[in-house]
Amino acid sequence: MLESSHLKNLNDAQKEAVLHSDGPLLIVAGAGSGKTKVLTSRISNLIKKKKAFPNQILAVTFTNKAAREMQYRVSKLLKTEATSLPWLGTFHSICAKLLRKHAKAANLNYNFTIVDTDDQMRLIKNICKAENIDTKQLSPKFILGIIDKWKNKGLYPNEVEINNKDIYEKTSLPLYKIYQQKLIELNSCDFGDLILHTVKILETNKDIREIYTRNFKYILVDEYQDTNFIQNRWLNLLVNEDKNICCVGDDDQSIYSWRGAEIKNFLEFDKVYENTKVIRLEENYRSTQNILNVASSLISNNQNRVGKNLKSTNDEGELIKLNCFKSGKEEAIGISDEIEQNLKKKFSYNNISILVRAIFQTREFEERFLKIGLPYRIIGGTKFYERAEIKDCIAYLRIVFQDKDDLAFERIVNNPKRAIGDSTIKQIHENSKKNIICLEKSSKQLIEMNLIKPKTKIGLSSFLSLLEKWRYDLFIKKINHVKLLQNILDESGYSAMLKNKKDLENENRLENIKELLSAMKEFDNLESFLEHVSLATSIDQDWEGEKINMMTMHAAKGLEFDVVFLPGWEEGLFPHQKSIEEKGQNGLEEERRLAYVGITRAKKVANISFSMNRFYQGDWMDSLASRFIDELPSDYVEKNNLNEQDFIQEDDFEFNQDLEDEDYRSPGWLRYQKRIK
């Protein structure tokens, strides 16, 4: 019996959510409150109580992993592996299933192809070429982003109304029309179409819509706070006359507006569906009470929220530590020392995480960890010196420093594009091998012999001239190595290439390059910097065993760790200046929700920190502590074991053990000394 085997393991609020059967239900599930357990128990209860057969339940998730987990748990609860839930899956997978059945209504055949990102890029590039669109000024990826935004708002090309002052939208709309027509001609659709086509079919075909509203007796939605307009519209169309829709989520963890998520879907649920039952899951099984008190106090400053009061099933735990450092470098030293001296004895590295607001912040931690031999992994990203734009910059510096560096030459000779194709590269290689000379000299020789195509010759000659100019700057004029890279990036067109491509990815790349320029200032010359990079990238960081986790707070959603470090809580960085500039109060509230997500990843220990100065975008900048720090409740926060007066005095900011301190050497320092001897 479900009552005896499962309901006894639920708290009162969870039990109420599981047993509620008819009418709209909104489950406000706080962090670590067991929402997956409630969803699967609810599905099991509906089937056991014969409220619905498995094929009459629509259960929607955001990831295939979540869908598989729910399927497994339901089967386990019902004590049978045979229980199939044919309508449990992601938004895209379920819509694909529906669209196959009714493809003709969308001018497609049932055997339509779903194009991937590469196919989309190729298609839009071909369209841009045919329409004489300069992809250096308007990148295909950016165009596809605009198209996806329109699809997420439920708009076909003929339904889009644009602001004529917006040059990007004005240029993209005709391309959207051609793109969509091409997809139809190819009997294909992209991921956005899966939901858009399905919604349009349901809106315009009452008979088809009634098939599903009759069949789906109950609808359950996971992570409802992350739904966008078109996803929510699709759900609205499938709800039956009994309004048996149950949505589970946490408005305080809505952090994906940049991906199209609309928090108002969650906040206005009870307005869309009359007589909505709201159940709050407020018992947290993850974190200590002190961690929850800090997170709850911080998020209470947001105006647009449903509200809840999280209570821990664990003990009070340690106070949250708030640390101030002189600089970002000192912050990395302080955190690594805390791990070495105190935490590694109590916790495995796998259960320690450093959560940053922006991915460029990992650089100082990576360099510090590599130096002292602390193992780490980057989750949801690439290690700093392995990022493509960083490797490009390093390749430029290497070939300027040493003309025989063929690997560096090959990487950047056509980056950015200089009309130097694969056939030319092959020609250069063959000539190099034949005459036993480096690729650069081989290129010069082929130009002198007039063996390079005219258009290619222009691009290659220009590149070779730039190399000579940069070497003159470095070796004759003796310009600073940081200034050298700035010149290279400007004069090669690399900076312009990134700046002209308007998308989030390129903004991150520019931030990473600025961080690289900051890193270079720590070295006396180009030679020492290149040596440092070589050593940093050669150290084996892929050994088996446990590793400290580094990731952005966005990537950390849904994860949990015993220990969480939250560095870089400074104005402009967190909350991020761009978010506030673009979205005002809504942007600030989303940044605060991100802080809430970061804090609630911690089970036992949470450390927040900021620095007085940060080397950012090539310059030292005085930092202001984040406004979020002022919102932390003092009763649950330990400020470096200092009183309030001490905390604001500059002379007292030497809180953390410096490596150069003669009286103490950390274990990492000792390992480092052994390695360099």
The phi-psi region of residue 261 (left if phi > 0; otherwise alpha if psi is between -120 and 50; otherwise beta) is beta
Residues 308 and 312: their CA atoms lie apart, in Å, by 13
pLDDT value of residue 65: 87
- For 34, 561, 597, 603, 632, the CA distances from 315, given in Å and listed in that order, are 18, 17, 20, 11, 20
pLDDT given for residue 134 in this prediction: 85
What does each C-alpha distance from 123 to 126, 128, 167, 178, 190 come to in angstroms? 5, 9, 22, 10, 11
Q: Helix 167-185 vs helix 140-152: angle between axes, to the nearest 10 degrees?
A: 80
- Write b or e for each residue in 583-606: b if 16 or more Cβ atoms lie within 10 A of its Cβ, otherwise e: eeeebbbbbbbbbbbbbbbbbbbb
pLDDT, position 522:
85
DSSP reduced 3-state for 637: strand
pLDDT of residue 81: 58
Measured distance CA(375)–CA(662) in Å, rounded? 25
Reply yes or no on whether the pLDDT at 654 is more than 70.
Answer: no
Helices (H), 205-351: 206-215, 229-238, 264-267, 269-272, 289-299, 328-338
Task: Give the pLDDT score at 661.
Answer: 43
* Distance from C-alpha of 509 to C-alpha of 393, rounded to nearest angstrom: 11
Amino acid sitting at position 605: V
Contact 106, 99 (CB under 8 A): yes
E-assigned strands of 423-514? Answer: none
Residue 49: alpha-carbon gap to chain centroid: 41
Residue 649 has pLDDT above 60, yes or no: no
Whole-number pLDDT of residue 401: 93
Residues 495 and 618: their CA atoms lie apart, in Å, by 15
Comparing CA positions, the residue from 148, 89, 225 lying closest to residue 557 is 225
Q: 628: Cβ–Cβ under 8 A, 6 or more apart, which residues?
A: 298, 569, 574, 575, 591, 592, 595
Q: What is the pTM of this model?
A: 0.81
Paired residues of 621 in beta bridges: 614
Q: What are phi and psi of 523, to 5 degrees?
A: -115, 150
Whether 57 contacts 88, CB under 8 Å: yes
Half-sphere exposure (CA, 13 Å, Cβ side) for 193? 25
Q: Find, among 200, 191, 160, 192, the residue nearest to 177 by Cα.
A: 160
Report how far residue 415's alpha carbon sits from residue 418's, in angstroms, rounded to the nearest whole number: 7
Question: Distance between CA atoms of 526 and 517, rounded to whole angstroms?
Answer: 12
Give the residue from 331, 325, 228, 261 showing the smallest Cα distance to 593: 261
In this predicted structure, the answer to whether residue 4 has a pLDDT above a threshold of 50 is no
pLDDT beyond 90 at 258: no
Q: Decide: helix, strand or coil at residue 639.
A: strand
Burial of 325 (0-12, 13-18, 19+ CB in 10 A): buried
Say how far residue 150 (Cα) sits from the centre of its chain.
21
Active site (catalytic) residues: 35-36, 222-223, 253, 601
Assess contact for 281 and 27: CB atoms under 8 A. Answer: yes
Q: Dump pLDDT digits (tens) for 375-433.
A: 999 998 888 998 999 999 999 999 999 999 999 999 999 999 999 999 999 999 999 99
In angstroms and rounded to an integer, the radius of gyration of the C-alpha atoms of the chain is: 28
Task: Return the amino acid letter for 649.
Answer: Q
State residue 378 phi and psi, 5-degree precision: -100, 120
Residue with tokens 């310009």: 479
- pLDDT given for residue 618 in this prediction: 59
252, two tokens: 């305080």
Tell me the mean pLDDT in the region 550-555: 95
- Confidence category of residue 2, pLDDT binned at 50, 70, 90: very low
pLDDT tens string 482-537: 999 999 999 999 998 888 766 667 788 888 999 999 889 888 999 989 988 887 77
Q: Which residues pair with 277 in a beta bridge?
A: 25
- pLDDT above 90 covers a percentage of the chain that reads 73
Average pLDDT over residues 593-597: 97
Angle, nearest 10°, between helix axes 362-372 and 328-338?
50
Q: Are strands 218-221 and 57-61 parallel, antiparallel or unpaired?
A: parallel
Largest CA distance in the chain: 88
Whether the pLDDT of residue 440 is over 80: the answer is yes
d(CA 435, CA 430): 9
Cite the beta strand spans of 530-676 per DSSP E.
548-552, 561-566, 602-611, 613-616, 619-622, 637-639
* In the predicted structure, residue 82 carries a pLDDT above the cut 80: no
- Two tokens at 439? 């690729």
Tokens of 239: 């709800």
Please give the pLDDT value at position 506: 78
d(CA 557, CA 551): 10
Interhelix angle for 206-215 vs 229-238, to 10°? Answer: 80
**Cβ atoms 225, 261 nearer than 8 A:** yes
Q: Which residue in 600, 112, 27, 17 sits closest to 312, CA to CA?
A: 600
For 438, the enclosing helix (H) or strand (E) is none
Contacts of 531 (CB under 8 A, 6+ apart): none
CA distance 205 to 200: 8
